[in-house]
């Protein structure tokens, strides 16, 4: 049947079956908005003409004939035109929804970027710890667009409730970075963590880490000598005490960075909090214990290895647990040994510049190799005296002498 012979509409199925193809594809109107298309090759299908929300006309396929009969096509057309009249875009109807970007995937990409940027092992450990402990349990399984301000506020308030205001502040920064990265990548337009600072609890006045003063050290050193913690743990505690390094620096210390022959620990910039390389002279006592430890852990990358691939180094809590077990809970923590060293050295009139450089507290100023090794010879003398002085406090005997030419004129 030729289309010129069509006499009525809607088109009967008998007409649809017999309509002949022409040299070019053509369309015949069946009912409001619904057209029957006959291709030059003979295939037949249904098309709906509708107006999109932006005011432009568009076509939407409703299927081929005879799989979709005239009756079924008209029913579909009526339903879709009703939807279009209410402002729905028919271009999206019937499409598979695009997969949502999940928060955990975005956070893991942020973590990977931090790792590639060379963040310190201690920082990476901290990112992973609080992602798993505080962030993922609340929003890890949510899509980026589904995370709400209430979700982010919940993470912050839970941490504040347990007194972790400092790390809550860091987590707030990390959440902002994660969402900002996702926005830049076009994965979301949503940053529900952007205003959390306005509802954050006021951070309590910072207190120094629990630390000991000189009169308390003899009793502590004797208690540490009797510690039942692992031999390797006690060596790490003593190394932290004698070098005044951060506990995390000791945990992630690698044998490749330690020159026992020259009694020098060279820490690369990527492992340092301030992103500057740092040199730490090692006392004879520390070198002796590290040589003994090397017989046990020397085949490992890390000086103080952990157990298994998931724990390449000793746990973050190992040092403080050792201190608790010898009776110094709330009196001394690993980081507090830096306060102890700084206080004792300054009280004994060692030059402030030497002490600050040992603790890597020097800000800005000079740079390059000179800055990296500044006061190294003086610090060798100072820290050997400090190790000897700790031994004298513990065992007695001959009191170590301070070289007058390296002392400050006043404390």
**DSSP class per residue in 259-328:** ETTTTEEEE-GGGSTTSS-EEEE--HHHHHHHHHHHHHHTTSSBSSB-SSTT-SB--TTHHHHHHHHTT-
Catalytic-labelled residue, pool 338, 339, 351, 379: 338
Assign domain 214-406 one CATH number from 3.40.50.720, 1.10.443.10, 3.40.30.10, 1.10.940.10. Answer: 1.10.443.10
Q: State the fold for domain 3-92.
A: Double Stranded RNA Binding Domain (3.30.160)
Asked if pLDDT for residue 374 goes beyond 90, the answer is no
Asked if pLDDT for residue 197 goes beyond 80, the answer is yes
For residue 382, what pLDDT is reported? 96
Asked if pLDDT for residue 154 goes beyond 90, the answer is yes
Q: Which tokens belong to 359?
A: 């603790």
Does residue 273 have an active-site annotation?
yes
Top-confidence residue, 370 or 316? 316
Enumerate the domain spans of the chain: 3-92, 103-199, 214-406
Does residue 349 have an active-site annotation?
no
Catalytic-labelled residue, pool 9, 17, 162, 273: 273
Cβ atoms of 243 and 387 within 8 Å: the answer is no
Catalytic-labelled residue, pool 246, 251, 271, 351: 246
- pTM for the full model? 0.55
Catalytic-labelled residue, pool 172, 278, 335, 351: 335
pLDDT tens by residue, 27-41? 999 999 999 999 988
Residue 157: pLDDT band (50, 70, 90) is: very high
Does residue 328 have an active-site annotation?
no
SS3 210: coil
Q: What is the 3-state secondary structure (H, E, C) of 135-180?
A: HHHHHCCCEHHHCCHHHHHHHHHHHHHCCCHHHHHHHHHHHHHHHH
Does residue 302 have an active-site annotation?
no
pLDDT tens by residue, 56-97? 899 888 899 999 999 999 999 999 999 888 888 887 776 656
Cβ atoms of 229 and 324 within 8 Å: the answer is no
Asked if pLDDT for residue 372 goes beyond 80, the answer is no
Catalytic-labelled residue, pool 113, 133, 291, 361: 361
Does residue 198 have an active-site annotation?
no
Catalytic-labelled residue, pool 56, 95, 116, 370: 370
Top-confidence residue, 404 or 394? 394
Cβ atoms of 83 and 90 within 8 Å: the answer is yes
Does residue 24 have an active-site annotation?
no
Residue linked to tokens 């190294």: 376
Q: State the fold for domain 103-199.
A: DNA polymerase; domain 1 (1.10.150)
The share of the chain scoring above pLDDT 90, in percent, equals 63
In what helix (H) or strand (E) does residue 62 lie, and over which residues does it extend? Answer: strand 57-65
């Amino acid at each position: 049947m030729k289309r010129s012979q069509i006499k009525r509409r809607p088109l009967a199925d008998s007409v649809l079956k017999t309509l002949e193809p022409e040299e070019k594809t053509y369309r015949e109107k069946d009912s409001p908005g619904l057209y029957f298309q006959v291709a030059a090759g003979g295939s037949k299908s249904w098309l709906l003409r509708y107006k999109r929300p932006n005011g432009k006309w568009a076509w939407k396929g409703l299927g081929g004939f005879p799989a979709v009969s005239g009756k079924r096509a008209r029913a579909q057309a009526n339903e879709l035109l009703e939807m279009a009249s209410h402002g729905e875009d028919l271009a999206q109807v019937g499409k598979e929804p695009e997969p949502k970007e999940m928060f955990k995937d975005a956070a893991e990409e942020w973590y990977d970027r931090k790792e590639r940027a060379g963040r310190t092992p201690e920082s990476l450990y901290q990112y992973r710890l609080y992602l798993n402990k505080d962030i993922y349990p609340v929003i890890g399984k949510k899509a980026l667009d589904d995370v709400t301000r209430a979700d982010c506020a919940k993470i912050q308030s839970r941490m504040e409730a347990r007194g972790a205001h400092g790390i809550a502040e860091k987590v707030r920064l990390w959440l902002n970075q994660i969402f900002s990265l996702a926005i830049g990548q076009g994965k979301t337009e949503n940053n529900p963590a952007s205003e959390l600072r306005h509802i954050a609890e006021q951070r309590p006045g910072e207190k120094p880490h629990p630390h000991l003063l000189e009169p308390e050290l003899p009793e502590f050193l004797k208690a540490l000598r009797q510690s039942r913690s692992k031999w390797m743990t006690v060596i790490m505690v003593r190394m932290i005490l004698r070098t005044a390094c951060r506990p995390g620096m000791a945990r992630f210390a690698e044998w490749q960075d330690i020159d026992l022959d020259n009694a020098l620990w060279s820490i690369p910039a990527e492992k340092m909090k301030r992103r500057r390389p740092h040199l730490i002279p090692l006392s004879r006592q520390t070198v002796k214990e590290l040589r003994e430890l090397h017989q046990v852990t020397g085949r490992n990358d890390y000086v103080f290895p952990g157990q298994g691939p998931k724990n390449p180094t000793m746990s973050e809590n190992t040092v403080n647990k050792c201190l608790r077990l010898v009776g110094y809970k709330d009196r001394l923590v690993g980081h507090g040994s830096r306060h102890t060293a700084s206080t004792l050295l300054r009280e004994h009139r060692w030059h402030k510049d030497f002490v600050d450089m040992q603790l890597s507290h020097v800000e800005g100023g000079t740079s390059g190799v000179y800055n990296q090794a500044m006061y190294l010879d003086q610090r060798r003398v100072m820290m050997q005296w400090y190790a000897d002085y700790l031994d004298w406090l513990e065992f007695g005997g001959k009191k170590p002498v301070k070289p007058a030419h390296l002392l400050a004129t006043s404390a």
